[in-house]
Amino acid sequence: MKARGAVMTARLMLGKDTAAAVKADLDSEIEELKARGIMPRLDIIKVGDKPEDKAYENGARKRFEKLGISLEVTELPESVTEEEFEKTLAQLNEDPLIHGILVFRPLPDGLNEERIARLIAPEKDVDCFSPVNIAKVLTGESGERGFAPCTAEAAIEIGERNGIDFDGKDVTIIGRSMVVGRPLAMMLLQKNATVTTCHTHTRDLAGSCGSADVIIAAAGHAGLVTADMIKDGACVIDIGINVGPDGKLTGDVDFDAVSEKAGMITPVPGGVGGVTTSILARHVVLAAERLAE
């Protein structure tokens, strides 16, 4: 099998396969909710019209249409005031027909993101924006009582659906953001993995990656992970999204070279990104079930 000119030995972990498996799990749950007169619904709040937000919105809309979940978008102007934003958020918090709320970040400088995070209803916060849900990730309660970040959960999902048992595995995460790296580390610790978290100040990144059974790249730096950094047969999960000079999307991994040495690898595009919206859908359905109780 060829991969962009390179001879591939790694098995591809495709997002579409995992997304299909998640959909199969959700179909019956959604039908049960609808039979009770409940239409699962997500409302996205976005400020302005950034291309990356539009791309995510389009992907989520396609996924939700296939599942039969309602998705609405509340678009606010770049000039929105803190008071106007908070009023909009309060209306969504109080609307019983809305089960999930997703705030596109980062927010403009004029809005207090930390304050807004504290105001979003935790039971509707389906992408772990609220500090309440962040705390539940830290304590291992997110699966039963809260919501983990969708991208972090998607990385674990695609790994497990492809036969990876994280129990006892040495896992190196590259990236320490609150959106992916830090919560992902805590979630993997709950699965009994031995986790090393690397970042821009890590002195020996190659050394930290070289002994890892699983490498998860989430640094936002194209081509950061090279073939000489991984051991033979390692699993490589690429979360990075970068736009190359040619306008094409690339990950944080040198895909051509690493795919010759890794045991399994996710492509970009076509990997974790395609699973994230499926996890978002799962969270909306779970929120609808919890709110119905």
Please report, for the chain, the start and end positions of each structural domain, with discontinuous segments joined by +: 36-123, 150-272
pLDDT tens-digit profile of 169-202?
A: 999 999 999 989 999 999 999 999 999 999 989 9
Predicted pLDDT at 1: 37
Predicted pLDDT at 287: 98
Residue 142's pLDDT band (cuts 50, 70, 90): confident
Predicted pLDDT at 51: 83
The DSSP result for 47-64, as a single string, is ES--HHHHHHHHHHHHHH
User: CA-CA distance, 73 to 269, in Å (whole number)?
Assistant: 25
pLDDT tens-digit profile of 220-233?
A: 999 999 999 999 99
Predicted pLDDT at 245: 85
> What CATH number does domain 36-123 carry, 1.10.15.40, 3.40.640.10, 1.10.10.10, 3.40.50.10860?
3.40.50.10860
One fold for 36-123 and 150-272:
yes
Q: Quote the percentage of the chain above a pLDDT of 90.
A: 88
The two tokens of residue 232 are 């033979």
Strand-pair category, 242-243 with 194-198: unpaired
**Among the listed residues 227, 221, 215, 209, the one whose alpha carbon sits nearest the alpha carbon of residue 250:** 221
CATH of domain 150-272: 3.40.50.720
CA distance to 56, 70, 274, per residue, from 95 (Å)? 24, 14, 29
Mean pLDDT (whole number) for 227-247: 93
User: CA-CA distance, 181 to 94, in Å (whole number)?
Assistant: 32
Answer whether residue 3 shows pLDDT above 50: no
**Among the listed residues 246, 250, 212, 241, the one whose alpha carbon sits nearest the alpha carbon of residue 229:** 212
Q: Is residue 183 within 8 Å of 201, Cβ to Cβ?
A: no
| Average pLDDT over the chain, rounded to an integer | 94
Mean pLDDT (whole number) for 133-147: 88
Q: Quote the percentage of the chain above a pLDDT of 70.
A: 98
Q: Is residue 103 within 8 Å of 59, Cβ to Cβ?
A: no
Secondary structure (3-state) at 46: strand
> What is the CA 11 to chain-centroid distance, rounded?
22
Phi-psi domain of 168 (left: phi exceeds 0; alpha: psi -120 through 50; beta: other) = left
Answer whether residue 5 shows pLDDT above 60: no
Predicted pLDDT at 7: 65
What are the backbone angles phi and psi of residue 109, rounded to the nearest 5°?
A: -60, -25
Residue 209's pLDDT band (cuts 50, 70, 90): very high
pLDDT tens-digit profile of 19-48?
A: 999 999 999 999 999 999 999 999 999 999
pLDDT tens-digit profile of 257-293?
A: 999 999 999 999 999 998 999 999 999 999 999 999 8
First-to-final CA distance of the chain: 50
Q: How big is the chain by its Cα radius of gyration, in Å? A: 19
Secondary structure (3-state) at 133: helix
Predicted pLDDT at 2: 43
Answer whether residue 129 shows pLDDT above 60: yes
Q: Is residue 150 within 8 Å of 102, Cβ to Cβ?
A: no
Asked which of 30-44, 59-73, 132-146 is least confident by mean pLDDT, the reply is: 132-146
User: CA-CA distance, 92 to 107, in Å (whole number)?
Assistant: 18
